[in-house]
Amino acid sequence: MAPDMQYTTLGRTGLKVSVAAMGCGGSSCLGLGAGRSVAQCAGIIHQAVDLGVNLIDTARSYGTEPVVGAALKTLARDSVVITTKHKVVEGKTRLSAAQVIAGLDESLKTLGTGCVDIFFLHTVLPQDYGYAVQEIVPALLREKAKGKFRFLGITEMPPKDPHHDTLRQALAGGEDCWDVMMFAFHMLGQNARRVVFPQTRERNIGTTVMFAVRSLFSTPGRLQADIRTLAEAGKLPAWLADQEQPLGFLLNERHEGGARSVIEAAYRYARHEPGTDVVLFGTGNPDHVAPNIAAILQPPLPPEAVQKIAELFGHLEGVGLDEPSRSPAAARAV
């Protein structure tokens, strides 16, 4: 029997959200990347909602707003928390506030709703943060006052910002506009523990964690290959690279309370980090929805396992932060 969904309050928003959130991007894009129809992809959302998920995260750039809009036609709007996003830069061109607002309006039309719960400025790079705050945010807050969205958020771009420099600026600045932050955190990428979580917790900013699994942990052989490369570079001990399963110490055949798989361990690790509100999972495979949710709902890993993860990998930065692949093969794998 699947565990019951758990809910939490998303920081100062006051929104009651499921700790497992349906991510509509990544390599799968709910199955669009593998050629599935909008109706089939909307079925993935309904499957997650039936299991208690109530936070659906999409974005203009994902191409999945039509899928979310299709799903919303048969869901009570107040039963789900909908988030979407818009970039500040397209290519090498900074967008104007008017362009971002036009994107917001188009998103509302595509989603079939007059208001989204959270509107994120998407993949903001460090060099564009000042522009976003000075030129885009004031205009967006006027749109918020009109009722187009309830809370404002910001997301980093992990492959190009492995040190969380955008969020460092957002947390160090005097502005108090950010209600929610989305960022990368996983077993081999723990630096958010030092530079993000302490301040989001202190300021009660909602957090949604991405990259908890991705291809590093889900693609067969990828973890072993990356650990070998890191060991060759002197960043990890050589003995770890010789292990057939480098994270075998997390699995339940080794000790009570262990995980049944590395993927489960990765979800449990991210979910129970102090300061995590929500963990995003994404898939286009109906068979993966329930196992992903069940993994996020499992208890914390044993303290000695968490400590060993910190000792082995706590110094690493920039590992496993590759951009999503849009190839059909990659889309089918998640």
| CATH code for the domain in which residue 34 is found | 3.20.20.100
Contact 112, 73 (CB under 8 A): yes
Q: 307: domain range?
A: 17-312
Count the neighbouring beta carbons within 10 Å of the beta carbon of residue 254.
Answer: 13
In a domain, 36, yes or no: yes
In a domain, 255, yes or no: yes
Backbone angles phi, psi at 210, to 5 degrees: -115, 170
In a domain, 274, yes or no: yes
Residue 325 pLDDT: 65
Name the token pair of 58: 């999409």
Residue 144 pLDDT: 98
DSSP letter for each residue of 83-98: EEEEESEETTEEPPHH
- What residues in the chain have per-residue pLDDT under 70? 1-2, 253-254, 325-334
In a domain, 87, yes or no: yes
Residue 50 pLDDT: 97
In a domain, 2, yes or no: no
Residue 115 pLDDT: 98
DSSP letter for each residue of 109-131: HHHT-S-EEEEEEES--HHHHHH
Model-level pTM?
0.95
Count the neighbouring beta carbons within 10 Å of the beta carbon of residue 117.
Answer: 23
160: three-class secondary structure by DSSP? helix
In a domain, 101, yes or no: yes
Q: What is the count of structural domains for the chain?
A: 1
Start-to-end CA distance of the chain, whole Å, equals 23
